[in-house]
Chains A and B, each alone.
Chain A
Amino acid sequence: MRTKIKFSSVVGFLVLVILVVPLLIVIITSFGEESAISFPIKGFTFDWYANVFQQPDFVEGLKMSSIVAIVASFLALVVGTPMVYVLTRFDIHHKDWFQTIFLSPALIPEIVIGFALYQALVISLQLPLFISLLVGHFLLCLPYVVRLITAGMMEFDESIEEAAWMVGYNKLSAFFKVVIPNIKQSVVAAFILSFITSFNNIPISLFLNGPDLNMLPTSILNYLENNYDPTVSAVSVILMIITASIMIIAEKYLGLNKLT
């Protein structure tokens, strides 16, 4: 028993070290004065953070990534929630097929989705890049929405909805006035997870970006190809702070168990 506890604490400690130490190094290097990333750092400066906001690619990327993440998550919710509602409430033929289809984007490698969408939407259908990018990120977000809303619907007692019908509400108004307020937590959780997934995605964005369409993570990648200065560390820290603050807010209002 004692050795088991020892073993798991050693493993836990190792995982923490492997995960946290590199991140700590990134954070530290973002303050170094030297123009190449080096560790340990010499001197201390905030210049690289300032530099982040002087790079049009990063500023535009941050804007574009946020817009795409918000719009894609929103679309995934608008499409996914009613879909899940129908799948959980009604007896539909081949229900499990539908469920698999809606979850499948999570099973296909993202780089394949990116390439396939590039082929189909950009090359063959000549759709604007922005639309194609949105479609890609929508597909990325959909499985999260499906999973979380399904879990929320399962917990929700069907009779409560029936009670609303009985006192005079048709199915549509009952859905908005009774179902949605009671699965609110799942909806918010789905939005946050979708947002973070989309915001941090590279493989899909890589295929569907262009001269005027840069996402923050791909911009970082592009920047790294030509430069190896602490600006990259600084922008990584900013990315981490954004993701972490969303997680912390979510945790505070929803509890972490809703997000996993």
Chain B
Amino acid sequence: MANIEISDLSMSYQKGKQILDGLSLDIKDGELLSILGPSGCGKTTMLRLISGLIPIQKGTIKVSGKDISKVPVYKRNFGMVFQSYALFPHMTIFQNITFGLKRRKLDKKEIEQKALDILDITGLSNLKDRMPSELSGGQQQRVSLARALAINPSVLLLDEPLSNLDAKLRIEMREEIHRLQQKLKMTTIFVTHDQEECFAISDRVALMNQGQIEQLDTPQNIYKNPRTEFVARFIGYENFISKEWAESKQWQYHKDIEGKLLTIRPENIEIGSGENMLSGKVISKNFLGNYYQYLVETEIGVLKVNTTEDQSSTNAEITLNFPEQSLIELEDK
């Protein structure tokens, strides 16, 4: 297995647009690390640099201590799952899976045995003689995963593997990826723009913005303690309050880092009284299934408040409470 050390990776296109900007990242052996970010943040470029599909301009990538910058893509022995599945359309499922094995010094029996093993653990045995076009999207992505794993890669790279699937299959497939990754203890990099799917299966998450990593942490820490405004907004913090104003009111908040801004999730604001109070007027109320969302106009602007129960109505004057532990200070950027 393998650990990956990425240091000072930069990449720009001829027109001068900087895609990656001196990015460094260590991925531990057997870890599932997600790269999360909006489109255009450089996450796919980063994965393609690691895979070798595009050449490195600046910086180094080491796998198990060995610099792979000069190793061509076909010699890296990395598994990759593409967003578009990218199965070989002219081959059966079995041939798709053995295609990479045929390139290795194995005899026919070994190749067949390996392929059958992979088909077995991915639950594809009964589809092995079908053509890719005869399979559903979920099945095709499963084959794509099996094909990547068949060559016994040192690193598994997943490029938005779930985004072409429908909601139910997406959950099923991500559990499958997680199960296989745990079983094979394979170092895995998972690129996605979907916060939920990434939090569900990752050991750590690297949240990217404009070619840099904004925060690298466990899903729980990113969720509870976003470091910057960008991270906070990306993972659903919608209320931002100036620290200067909060201090003038002697509010208590969660101090961890030093900055100018405080943030709180809509569901963490309480209606009622407590340590940090602010009054306002409900200007709109929406029922969104498992919660109600209120827009409350206050002296510091319109705030979003989500509650599980119906607690107020439009035009009502209410008091909001901001619990100390949920009010988080952000770093300036």
Docked pose: A20 CA to B77 CA in angstroms: 62
B53 within 8 A of A: yes
Cβ-closest 4 pairs across A and B:
A167-B100, A159-B86, A168-B103, A159-B82
Q: A166-B79, A166-B80 are in contact. Are A160 and B74 (CB under 8 A)?
A: no
Looking at the complex, which one of A157, A168, A181 makes contact with B86 (CB distance below 8 Å)?
A: A157
Q: Which residue of A lies closest to B99 (CB)?
A: A167
Task: Mark interface residues in A130-172 (1 if CB within 8 Å of B CB, else 0).
Answer: 0000000000000000000000000001011011111111110
Q: Is the CB of A182 within 8 A of B89?
A: yes
Q: Enumerate B306-323 residues with CB–CB distance to A below 8 Å.
A: none
Q: Is the CB of A170 within 8 A of B86?
A: no
Residues in A whose Cβ lies below 8 Å from that of B51: 166
Q: Is the CB of B86 within 8 A of A162?
A: yes
> Besides the contacts A166-B51, A166-B80, A171-B74, what 7 more A-B pairs have beta carbons closer than 8 Å?
A157-B86, A159-B86, A162-B86, A163-B86, A163-B87, A169-B103, A182-B89
Interface residues on A, range: 10 to 19
Docked pose: A165 CA to B53 CA in angstroms: 8
Docked pose: A114 CA to B77 CA in angstroms: 53
Task: Mark interface residues in A17-35 (1 if CB within 8 Å of B CB, else 0).
Answer: 0000000000000000000
Q: Which residue of B lies closest to A163 (CB)?
A: B86
B72 within 8 A of A: yes
Task: Mark interface residues in B122-136 (1 if CB within 8 Å of A CB, else 0).
Answer: 000000000000000
Docked pose: A170 CA to B77 CA in angstroms: 12
Docked pose: A159 CA to B80 CA in angstroms: 10
Q: Which residue of B lies closest to A184 (CB)?
A: B90
Docked pose: A159 CA to B159 CA in angstroms: 11
Interface size on B, residues (CB 8 A): 28
Residues in A whose Cβ lies below 8 Å from that of B75: 168
26 contacts between A and B (CB under 8 A): A159-B83, A159-B84, A159-B86, A160-B88, A162-B53, A162-B82, A163-B80, A163-B88, A166-B51, A166-B74, A166-B78, A166-B100, A166-B148, A167-B100, A167-B103, A167-B150, A167-B151, A168-B75, A168-B103, A169-B103, A170-B72, A170-B74, A171-B74, A174-B74, A181-B90, A182-B89
Task: Mark interface residues in B190-227 (1 if CB within 8 Å of A CB, else 0).
Answer: 00000000000000000000000000000000000000
Q: A169-B74, A170-B72, A170-B74 are in contact. Are A164 and B89 (CB under 8 A)?
A: no
Closest Cβ of chain B to A2, distance in Å, is: 43
Residues in B whose Cβ lies below 8 Å from that of A160: 86-89
How many pairs of A and B residues are in contact by the CB < 8 Å rule? 62
Closest Cβ of chain B to A253, distance in Å, is: 16
Chain A residues within 8 Å of B, Cβ to Cβ: 157, 159-160, 162-171, 174, 178, 181-182
- B contact face: mostly helix, strand, loop, or mixed: loop
Chain B residues within 8 Å of A, Cβ to Cβ: 51-53, 72-75, 77-80, 82-84, 86-90, 99-100, 103-104, 144, 147-148, 150-151
Closest Cβ of chain A to B198, distance in Å, is: 21
Docked pose: A128 CA to B295 CA in angstroms: 86
Q: Which residue of B lies closest to A156 (CB)?
A: B89
Q: A157-B84, A159-B84 are in contact. Are A166 and B73 (CB under 8 A)?
A: yes
Docked pose: A97 CA to B84 CA in angstroms: 32
Residues in A whose Cβ lies below 8 Å from that of B104: 168
Q: Which residue of B lies closest to A181 (CB)?
A: B90
Closest Cβ of chain B to A184, distance in Å, is: 8
